[in-house]
Amino acid sequence: MKWIIGVDLRETAAGALNFGTWLAANHIESERPSFVPVHVLEESYLLQVLRHQHIDAVEDLARRAATDQLDKAQLGGVAGPARIVRGVVADEALVREFDAEHGDALIIGRQAPSNERNLVRLGRVARRIVRRLPCPTIVVPPDLRADQIGKGPIMLATDLEETAGSAARFAKRLAHVTGRPLVVAHVVPADTDMARYLPDATVDQFLSQSGLDRERDLKGWMANHGLESAAAVVSHGDVIARLSSIAEVEGAPIIVCGSRGMGTIERMFITSVGTDLSCWARAAVAMVPPTWGA
């Protein structure tokens, strides 16, 4: 697989490169990966620095800094040389490089570390890419180290809708190239009103029956997408919290989820599970557009 990595030159933002290091170490021999590290010099930045330096000097400094980051992540000997490109905004430039390279996925970093509760979780570039989701995109916590990445199965999170079929294809492909098993997780959202107005015994009975029904539904969905051999997990509760917890229990190196392809207006009123996971999960989160691999 070909991975396009957005290189952030801040010392505190090595997560995306570290995930690339993990991918390089875990690809099976018959499926060797290729990496294209890209750093974007945005127009607004260049308008400031070009008053004092020539463009060649600016690009050379950026290239050396990006090379240092690759070496620190132990990815320098595996990836190609850092590519320094110019763009009006970084997200558009990264997607342009992705398309030009016919990449399989774009890897970018998250702004907020896993152990901090910052209100703003995604940086400007990540927010814009996740909102558009023009390609499979992996968002990685900035403080994630390669030795912290789980040793368990690739985890696919599904809402049982057909729009998650692309995520199923991506997860199967990723499980194959990394030699990992696959676990498929589905969370039944918590109904807080029910727990408030019904006896505990009635709620427990309903959840038990609902769990059996959803297990059957999940097995059927998995069969429709060629995932019969994968493990399955059904849970109840807060979707983001439960999926994050399942990933930690399973030791999943990454959570893969689909996208409903919501427009700007829809996103004003409806939250996206993939976006919320990418904001809060301790593991890397892959979001796959509904048309990928169709």
> Cβ neighbours of residue 60 under 8 Å, at least 6 residues apart?
none
Give the β-pairing of 254-258 and 231-237.
Answer: unpaired
C-alpha angle 225-259-184 in degrees, rounded to nearest 5: 40
Work out whether strand 284-288 and strand 137-140 pair parallel, antiparallel, or are unpaired. antiparallel
Are 93 and 157 in the same domain? no
Per-residue pLDDT, 117: 77
Angle at 83 between CA 81 and CA 86, to 5 degrees: 165
**CA–CA separation, 18 vs 63, rounded Å?**
18
Looking at 87, 110, 142, the residue that finishes a domain is: 142
CA quadruple 2, 138, 17, 67: dihedral sign: positive
Question: Which range of residues forms the domain containing residue 119?
Answer: 1-142
CA distance 74 to 77: 7
Q: Which residues pair with 35 in a beta bridge?
A: 3
Task: From 235, 6, 200, select the one nearest 108 (Cα to Cα).
Answer: 6
- Examine the fold and report which residue of 117, 142, 167 is the final residue of a domain before the chain moves on: 142
Domain count along the chain: 2
**Number of neighbours of residue 189 by Cβ within 10 angstroms:** 12
Q: Tell me: the pLDDT tens digits for 93-107?
A: 999 999 999 999 999
Give the closest residue to 2 by CA, choosing from 22, 32, 26, 28.
32
This prediction's pTM: 0.89
233 and 194 fall within a common domain: yes
How many of the other CB atoms lie within 10 Å of CB of 143? 19
pLDDT at residue 38, rounded to an integer: 97
* 4 lies in the same domain as 136: yes
Residue in the structure block whose two tokens are 């039944």:
188
Task: Let me know whether 4 and 111 are in one domain.
Answer: yes
pLDDT at residue 199 in the model: 62
Whether residue 97 contacts residue 54, with contact meaning beta carbons closer than 8 Å, is answered with: no
CA triple 237-242-243, angle to 5 deg: 135
- Residues 153-172 pLDDT 10s: 999 999 999 889 999 999 99
Residues 115 and 145: beta-carbon distance below 8 Å: no
In the block, tokens 């919501």 appear at 262
End-to-end CA, the chain: 17
- Say if residue 222 is in the same domain as residue 96: no
CA angle 130, 136, 141 (to 5 degrees): 60
Question: Does 92 share its domain with 164?
Answer: no
Whether residues 117 and 217 fall in one domain: no
pLDDT at 115: 78
Tell me, yes or no, whether 117 and 20 share the same domain: yes
Q: Is residue 35 within 8 Å of 24, Cβ to Cβ?
A: yes
Q: Which two tokens stand for residue 76?
A: 């320098």
Residues 72 and 170 in one domain: no
Question: Rounded distance, CA 94 to CA 30, Å?
Answer: 28
Phi, psi of 284 (to 5 degrees): -65, 150
Of 142, 160, 186, the residue that ends a domain is 142
User: Do 81 and 161 reside in the same domain of the chain?
Assistant: no
Residue (of 150, 145, 128) closest to 137 by Cα position: 128
pLDDT-flagged residues of the chain (< 70): 190-212, 261-271, 294
- Answer yes or no: do 184 and 255 share one domain: yes
d(CA 292, CA 294): 6
pLDDT of residue 118: 76
